[in-house]
Amino acid sequence: MEHSAPLLGIVVPCYNEEAVLPQTYTTLTGVFNALISDGTIDSGSFILFVDDGSKDSTWQLVQNFANTDKHIKGLKLAANAGHQNALFAGLMQARSLADCTISIDADLQDDTSVIRDFLREYQDGNQIVYGIRNERKTDTPFKRSSAQTFYKLMRLFGVKLRYNHADYRLMSKPALNALAEYQEGHLFLRGIVPLLGFKSSEVFYSRRERAAGVTKYPLRKMLSFAFDGITSFSNAPIKLITSFGIFALIMSLVAIIYVLTSILAGNTVPGWTSIMISVWVLGGLQLIAIGVVGEYIGKIFMEVKRRPRYIIEKFLE
């Protein structure tokens, strides 16, 4: 059903966000109600909070919001499925109810005031609108440098990513229907969405500090997320291993020629140090290579099981 003003669904994945959720609700509904009152979005628009198996009172808060506000919907997953799966669950739930959706994290680091800009781009015919950070002043030097390295590596490996874009984006119903066709279990939405090919644009904003609570992406999860993204969209690491193997073989042949020449010249010297260094270096590289190959095999193993990405326990309409 078409609307002169689009019916918008805002999808907010949440995991243990009781500290920030009341503020998130207040901020989002303030923007949301203003958009309804001035006719920018349809009055049937909604905000969908997705509880990703939280262990705190996140779901109770969502229920309270839904009981007092007709524009609030809630989706509860039976167990923690991970941020990407929770976000995907919310998008799939919202796609049949809305003309377009905007996904935003619950921590209020993304600037909600640019939601109006997202909708303006959508009205201009863009099916996907990416929220792009225009700077990284709130990041630590380590996080800033590691993020830049990540984007450069992804581009080097041939993955089409929008630089400084996370999961703050608008997607139209046709774009969401296309996204639903992607069936892989290891979701990396930042890499999948650019593959859809719909007309897109960008909205720039300044990212803030987390309003409350603690980050759900410590260093360990950030590294895992980055590696998962690389191995989900590129076989370049496997090709690098092959290239290194060829290089090592060539160097071995050079070393053999050198050793034979030294023996014939009578210049052999006990080389315990060089041998041990070679053994440790090559051994370490071999273990890394086996680990990378194992990651790909492990992903194949998990994909062929065709297990559901998530289980929905409750849906509050």
The domain ranges of the chain are: 8-214+308-316, 236-305
Among 46-55, 78-87, 262-271, name the one with the lowest average pLDDT. 262-271
| 142, pLDDT greater than 70 | no
Q: What percent of the chain has pLDDT over 90?
A: 47
**What is the crossing angle of helices 58-68 and 21-37, to 10°?**
30
**Tokens read off for 28:** 């989002």
Per-residue model confidence (pLDDT) at position 271: 64
User: What value does the mean pLDDT of the chain take?
Assistant: 82
pLDDT digits over 207-233, tens only? 877 656 555 555 565 666 666 666 666
Categorize the per-residue pLDDT at 2 as very low, low, confident or very high, splitting at 50, 70 and 90: very low
Integer Cα distance of 83 and 176 in angstroms: 17
CATH of the domain spanning 8-214+308-316, picked from 3.30.1300.10, 3.30.450.20, 3.40.50.720, 3.90.550.10: 3.90.550.10
Categorize the per-residue pLDDT at 137 as very low, low, confident or very high, splitting at 50, 70 and 90: low
Q: How far is CA 276 from the centre of its chain?
A: 42
Integer Cα distance of 315 and 129 in angstroms: 27
Mean pLDDT of the region 183-187: 80
Higher-pLDDT residue of 4 and 173 is: 173
Per-residue model confidence (pLDDT) at position 161: 76
Integer Cα distance of 89 and 52 in angstroms: 10
Integer Cα distance of 95 and 171 in angstroms: 9
| Contact (CB, 8 A) for 313 and 77 | yes
Per-residue model confidence (pLDDT) at position 233: 62
Give the E-state strand segments of the chain in sequence order.
8-14, 46-51, 72-77, 100-103, 128-133, 165-172, 200-205, 312-316
- Provide long-range contacts, Cβ within 8 A and 24+ apart, for 221-230: 222/146, 226/150, 226/153, 227/295, 228/186, 228/188, 229/154, 229/159, 229/188, 229/190, 229/191, 230/153, 230/154, 230/157, 230/159
Among 43-52, 60-69, 225-234, 293-302, name the one with the lowest average pLDDT. 225-234
Rounded-to-10 torsion of CA 280, 283, 285, 289: -170
Per-residue model confidence (pLDDT) at position 4: 78
Give burial (CB, 10 Å; 0-12/13-18/19+) of 44.
Answer: middle
**Tokens read off for 75:** 């989706």
